Amino acid sequence: MIVGAGPAALATATLLRCHELGPLEIIDPQGRWLTAWHHRFAAQSIAHLRSPAVHHPHPDPFALLATAGPDDLVRSGQANLPTTGVFARFTADLVRAARLTDAITASSVTSLELLGDGTAVLYLADGTHRRPDRVVLATNRRVPSEPLALRDQGGGGHPAVRQGDRCDVRSTPAGGHVVVVGGGLSAAQLCAGAAERGARVTLIARSRLRVRRYDTHPTWLGQKQLRRFRAEVDPVLRARMLAAARGGGTMPHRNRVLLQRLEDAGRLCLRERRELADVGSTSEGVRLCLDDGEVLAAAELWCATGGRIDVATDPLLTQVRRLRPIAIAGGLPDLDDALRWPGTNVHLTGAAAGLVLGPTAGNLVGHRRAAQRITAALRGLDPERADRITTGSGACPGLGIWPPHRPRQGSALQPRTAAQPRNDPARKGST
């Protein structure tokens, strides 16, 4: 049983189907795949992914490229980034091909009880319960990192203050003033989306805006960095390595250039190295005081300040933590090689597996690697040895070569099925 229906869950469910393991049930309150994912991309008006086109929920890195035409990819350095449209089309086709459309039960897990032998019983909101052979928690539950001024004064409950997924450029107050707090890609996309829809925008970032193509350096996709990471036996030190590798919020160069253009055109005011000191209500929105004394009046305040994983706050893991205590560092559990909570049949995927998979655990490539480890464990194989790239029919025996490795008409790309050149991004991702 898989709890959640996001990209991490889809990667695991697909690989289980590839090896004909089951029966398989996915629990998600929306009853559909990637609902939160698609909402987030629409809410931020995201045109293309930050991850290269070789990173997606199918185990074969070249599966998406086999369906992509020239208008489906955006060049970024030596990589091709998939548009939001082609990624949505590809994942929808994958769900159908892997027979996963009807595998979802539209409900939520309200509690998880751990029995004496380490097996989990899941209780659902519809009054039923399950006792599966294996449980995969793919909920990506995060604790919001809201600005200190909102935490101290309860400003997060103000109707004009939006945080995380509640920030939606489609509801931009045209002609109004929108203040965005954050320094990462989401903040940049919200600023651009609001400005395009006629709002005056102010961006407040507590540090200088930092430019980076990906949120984690590509060297973390290869073995050299990961071997050093895995060799560290102290989970606290591994957590520190994770934090250093990911750092804070960053954005690609093209997004930083767009912000500069908006600022030059007078549509964006950038306030770097500033923080909110106070948030108050007005009849027309919110009144914001910055730490340097500047006062802003805004129609809405959008907080794109991210969140963090902390398993100690996850109610589904309360009894697991009590009955099977393990080391937790930086909010992350020290799982075994199969991403299993030791002594139980509960596996975790997504960023929660960071102490095993490294800083890319919460990214699409990390979801694929997690799926490989979990599936290998169910097949009685070595999870660590399974954490590598496979292509062609060997990547997914149950589906064969799907989709056929033929680019759409007019595509300039011909995915390779033989050995990759050393500078190929998929080869760099081999682990």
Nearest to 88 by CA among 43, 56, 54, 52: 56
Domains 2-142+309-428 and 145-210+248-306 share a fold: yes
The domain made up of 2-142+309-428 has a fold known as FAD/NAD(P)-binding domain (3.50.50)
| pLDDT value for 72 | 97
At residue 405, the pLDDT reads: 59
The amino acid present at 298, given as its one-letter code, is A
Question: Can you tell me the distance from the alpha carbon of 426 to that of 60, in angstroms, rounded to the nearest whole number?
Answer: 10
Listed residue (172, 196, 173, 192) closest to 182, CA to CA:
192
| Cα gap 351→349, rounded to integer Å | 7
pTM greater than 0.85:
yes
Indicate the domain borders of the chain. Answer: 2-142+309-428, 145-210+248-306
- In CATH terms, 145-210+248-306 corresponds, of 3.40.50.980, 3.40.47.10, 3.30.1240.10, 3.50.50.60, to 3.50.50.60
For every one of its 431 residues, what pLDDT tens digit does the chain have, with 9 covering 90 and above? Answer: 999 999 999 999 999 999 999 899 999 999 999 999 999 999 999 999 999 999 999 999 999 999 999 899 999 988 999 999 999 999 999 999 999 999 999 999 999 999 999 999 999 999 999 999 999 999 988 888 888 888 766 545 688 999 988 999 999 998 999 999 999 999 999 999 999 999 999 999 999 999 999 988 888 888 888 889 989 999 999 999 999 998 889 999 999 999 999 999 999 999 999 999 999 988 889 999 999 999 999 999 999 999 999 999 999 999 999 999 999 999 999 999 999 999 999 999 999 999 999 999 999 999 999 999 999 999 999 999 998 888 888 899 999 888 875 544 444 444 433 333 334 434 333 32
Q: What angle do CA 117, 357, 374 make, to 5 degrees?
A: 45
Point out which residues pair with 276 in neighbouring strands. Answer: 290
Residue 280 three-state SS: strand
The overall longest dimension of the chain from CA atoms, in Å, is 65
3-state secondary structure of 95: helix
3-state secondary structure (DSSP) of residue 363: coil
| 222: helix, strand or coil | coil
CB 290 within 8 A of CB 276: yes
Are the beta carbons of 239 and 332 closer than 8 angstroms? Answer: yes
What sign results for the dihedral spanned by CA atoms 222, 224, 229, 232?
Answer: positive
Backbone angles phi, psi at 152, to 5 degrees: -75, -30
At residue 419, the pLDDT reads 34
* Residue 342 zone, left/alpha/beta (φ > 0; ψ -120 to 50; rest): beta
Predicted local confidence at residue 418, as pLDDT: 33
**Helix 185-196 vs helix 253-264: crossing angle, to nearest 10:** 40
Give the DSSP H or E segment for 226: helix 223-231
